[in-house]
Amino acid sequence: MLTREQIANRAAAEIQNGASVYLDPAWAEPVRAALAKDRQVTEAGAPEDAVDVAVVGATTVTLRGQLGGTSYTGKATKVVAIVEHLQGDDGAAHLLKDEEPGVLQAHLLITNMAVFDVTAEGLVMREVAPGVSALDVQLKSEANLLAADDLRVVHV
């Protein structure tokens, strides 16, 4: 499983030098720390601003990348969503079927188990955490997932 710092590092890898960004308050500090190593960005102060990249926390994500439980209401060229793969003591899945529409559309999803591209076909698993298999990820997801032909381990 990926640690909070590893998730923040992976999210920061999606942000180019000079970009305007919105950082969800729950993830702002660790993502800022990862960015400080080699990139300068301009941070938006409010969740209503339009930015190049928004890094947002969410409680759920559907098969088509619709997010639930996020406070970001602005426009972003790229939305990187961070979601816990499982929730609560009962281990309920956060990657859901498309039964409940979300408010915001993600482009990339990072969980503590894997990294996904959001495509027209659904969630495509691009990377898995060290020691985690694609099967492990699928078994802990309600949504049917696709695995990339070049699936690899997250490098953070």
pLDDT tens by residue, 111-131: 999 999 999 999 999 999 999
pLDDT tens by residue, 22-44: 999 999 999 999 998 889 999 99
Q: Is the pLDDT of residue 101 over 70?
A: no
User: How many domains, in total, are found in the chain?
Assistant: 1
Q: CATH code at 10?
A: 3.40.1080.10
Instruction: For 31-145, list the strands marked E by DSSP.
Output: 42-43, 51-57, 60-62, 66-68, 76-82, 86-87, 92-93, 95-96, 104-105, 108-110, 114-119, 122-128
pLDDT value at position 31? 97
Widest pairwise Cα distance in the chain: 42
Q: What's the token pair of residue 105?
A: 């559309």
Tokens 């890898």 correspond to what residue? 13
What is the span of the domain harbouring residue 51? 4-153
Q: Is the pLDDT of residue 46 over 90?
A: no
10 Å CB burial of residue 70 (0-12, 13-18, 19+) is buried
- Please provide the size of the chain in residues: 156
